[in-house]
C-alpha cells in the first residue's frame, strides 16, 4: 500500500535547496564533488549540497524531492507547470514516499523519448487552475487536491486533501472542479474522499487513524473535539462524542525532550478526561503499522449495536 510520510506538515514553507547543474561545471569537477560526498545527485545533470548527517530523514526526502522539481524547471527550455504530487510538494503538503517521479501538465502529446523520471499529463488546463508559487508554475491548491484525489490510492489522497483543507484550500471549489470532470476516471472515488476530508486533521498520522476508523464503517468522527471537565477545558484530536470516545495521536516528537512537568501535565489531562467518563485511545506512529490492532482498540469502546451495524466503506478499501 502507498502511504504518506508521517512527519508533520511544515509549519513554514520549506524553500527548495540550491541546485547545481552539471552544465555549469566540468564533468570531472562534478564527479569529484559526488565522489567526495559534497554533492548529492538528484536527477540527471542536477545536484544539491549533501544533506547534513544529522538531518531528519523526512527533511532530507523533502529536500531532494523539491530539488528535483527545481532542477527540471531550470533544465527545461519552457517552464513546466507542476501538478499532482509534485504540486502538492511545492504547496508544502505531505510527501508521498516511493514516487520519485516529477508530474507536469502539458497540452501537447508527450514525446516518446522523454525523461523517464517525468510524468507528463496531457491536459488542457483552464487558466484559473494554474498559478505561480515559489517562482514556479503550478496547479492551484484546489486543482492539486482534485488531481491527487483522482490519481492516488485512498489513504494518501485523503492525507493530501486533509492537509490542503488545513492550510486553506476551498472545499466548494474542489467540488465544482470535480463536477466539471464528471465521467472521467477516478471521479467517484475523488468525490467520496473529498466528502470525508477534514481540515481539522493536523498531521498525516491523525488522518491515518481517522482513515482506519472510516474504513470499517464507523461514523465520521469530529476533529479537534472540545471537552470540558471539572478541572479545565481540553482538546482531543478526534472522537465520537455520543460514545464519549476520544483518540489522541501522539507523534514521537511530542515526547522527545519533554520535561517531567510536561509529562505530568499530560498524565493529569488523561486522568481528568477518564474521570469525566471519556474513553481515550492513544495512538503512536508505531501503532499504525498494525491497522487491524488499531481498529480492534477502537471497536472495544463502540456500543455493541453500533458495531453490529457497521458497513465497510468500499472506496477506502480499494487501491
Express each pLDDT in 141-180 by its tens digit.
999 999 999 999 999 999 999 999 999 999 999 999 999 9
Burial class (CB in 10 A: 0-12, 13-18, 19+), 161: buried
Least-confidence region, from 35-44, 46-55, 79-88, 134-143 = 46-55
**Given a cut of 70, is residue 253 above it in pLDDT?**
no
* Pairing of the two strands 279-284 and 245-250: parallel
Closest CA to 153 of 164, 142, 161: 161
**pLDDT band at residue 252 under the 50/70/90 scheme:** low
Cβ(254)–Cβ(264) below 8 Å: no
What's the mean per-residue pLDDT of the chain?
Answer: 88
- How many CA atoms are closer than 13 Å to the CA of 12, on its beta-carbon side? 2
Domains and CATH numbers, the chain: 68-199 (no CATH), 205-317 (3.40.960.10)
In the predicted model, what is the mean pLDDT of residues 16-40? 94
Express each pLDDT in 181-209 by its tens digit.
999 999 999 999 999 999 999 999 999 99
Cβ(216)–Cβ(310) below 8 Å: yes
The pTM (predicted TM-score) of the whole model is 0.88
* Pairing of the two strands 130-133 and 39-43: unpaired
Helical H segments across the chain, by residue range: 27-35, 57-75, 84-90, 141-151, 154-166, 171-180, 187-196, 204-215, 260-275, 291-299, 304-308
Residues 6+ away with beta carbon under 8 Å from 52: none
Amino acid at each position: 500500500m502507498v502511504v504518506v510520510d508521517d512527519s508533520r506538515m511544515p509549519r513554514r514553507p520549506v524553500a527548495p535547496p540550491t541546485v547545481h547543474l552539471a552544465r555549469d561545471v566540468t564533468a570531472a569537477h562534478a564527479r569529484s564533488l559526488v565522489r567526495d560526498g559534497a554533492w548529492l545527485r538528484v536527477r540527471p545533470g542536477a545536484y544539491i549540497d549533501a544533506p547534513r548527517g544529522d538531518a531528519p530523514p523526512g527533511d532530507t526526502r523533502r529536500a531532494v524531492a523539491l530539488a528535483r522539481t527545481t532542477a527540471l524547471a531550470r533544465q527545461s527550455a519552457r517552464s513546466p507547470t507542476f501538478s499532482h504530487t509534485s504540486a502538492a510538494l511545492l504547496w508544502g503538503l505531505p510527501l508521498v514516499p516511493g514516487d520519485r517521479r516529477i508530474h507536469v501538465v502539458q497540452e501537447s502529446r508527450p514525446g516518446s523519448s522523454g525523461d523517464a523520471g517525468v510524468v507528463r499529463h496531457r491536459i488542457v488546463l483552464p487558466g484559473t487552475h494554474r498559478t505561480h508559487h515559489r517562482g514556479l508554475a503550478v496547479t492551484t491548491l484546489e486543482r492539486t487536491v482534485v488531481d491527487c484525489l483522482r490519481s492516488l490510492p485512498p489513504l494518501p489522497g485523503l492525507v493530501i486533501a486533509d492537509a490542503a483543507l488545513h492550510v486553506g484550500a476551498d472545499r466548494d471549489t474542489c467540488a465544482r472542479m470535480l463536477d466539471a470532470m464528471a465521467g472521467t476516471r477516478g471521479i467517484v472515488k475523488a468525490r467520496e474522499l473529498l466528502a470525508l476530508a477534514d481540515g481539522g486533521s493536523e498531521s498525516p498520522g491523525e488522518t491515518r487513524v481517522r482513515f482506519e476508523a472510516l474504513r470499517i464503517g464507523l461514523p465520521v468522527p469530529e476533529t479537534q473535539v472540545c471537552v470540558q471537565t471539572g478541572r479545565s477545558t481540553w482538546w482531543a484530536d478526534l472522537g465520537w462524542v455520543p460514545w464519549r470516545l476520544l483518540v489522541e495521536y501522539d507523534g514521537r516528537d511530542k515526547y522527545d525532550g519533554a520535561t517531567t512537568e510536561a509529562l505530568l501535565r499530560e498524565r493529569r489531562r488523561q486522568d481528568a478526561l477518564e474521570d469525566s467518563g471519556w474513553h481515550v485511545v492513544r495512538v503512536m506512529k508505531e501503532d499504525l503499522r498494525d491497522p487491524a490492532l488499531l481498529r480492534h482498540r477502537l471497536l472495544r469502546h463502540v456500543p455493541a449495536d453500533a458495531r453490529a451495524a457497521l458497513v465497510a466503506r468500499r472506496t477506502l478499501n480499494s487501491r
